[in-house]
Amino acid sequence: MALSSTLLAAEDACELEVRGAIPAAVLVALFERKGELHAVFTERRHDLSRHGGEISFPGGRPEEGDANLLETALREAHEEIGLDRSEVEIVGALQPTPTLVTGYAIYPFVGMIAPDQSLTPDPGEVEQILELSLAQVAAGYERRRVMRRGLPIRTDAYEVDGHIIWGATARIVTDLLDRLG
């Protein structure tokens, strides 16, 4: 796939330093449907204390037993959406990005999956799984004001079918879309 030539090597991305005290990794799972590239997002449960209700990629913090951040992303995708790591073809990574409020350094890894992949949300973390066309995501771009903990934040955002992607996830999406051209 041409995308892999525009991405960072997964091993190299793990070595990059980014502002943020807490390392975390996400899986940007992509698939083609009817000639169009789609991405798998999650809507986090609204009652979660961190990033509740936000649209994100499946991911989280490393745990004992994770050999590296790529393994963290694959494990978390399995836990959150039931994606079997053997069904993911890692094609590279995107630029790591910090979360500004919660202090995470997020390492995004990009993987291709089959378009008919059966995914199941973890009811403890995920409200729902969203499979969004990247063309629709790109078309939904706008600079907007988002309220977070009662404070207005002016940020880049993407809106698709009433779902608002903002913050670190929006920065990851922007990097992906820029690399896709």
pLDDT digits (tens, 9 = 90+) for 140-156: 999 877 766 677 777 88
Tens of pLDDT, residue by residue over 27-80, are 999 999 999 999 999 997 666 556 556 899 999 999 999 999 999 999 999 999
Percent of the chain residues past pLDDT 70, beyond the cut: 91
Q: What is the pTM of this model?
A: 0.91
Domains and their CATH numbers in the chain? 2-136 (3.90.79.10)
**DSSP string for the chain:** -GGGGGSBPHHHHHH---S-SEEEEEEEEEEEETTEEEEEEEEEPTT-TTTTT-EE-SEE---TT--SHHHHHHHHHHHHH---GGG-EEEEE---EE-TTT-EEEEEEEEE--TT------TTTEEEEEEEEHHHHHHTEEEEEEEETTEEEEEEEEEETTEEEEHHHHHHHHHHHHHH-
Q: Mind listing the pLDDT tens digit for each residue in 120-138?
A: 999 888 889 999 999 999 9
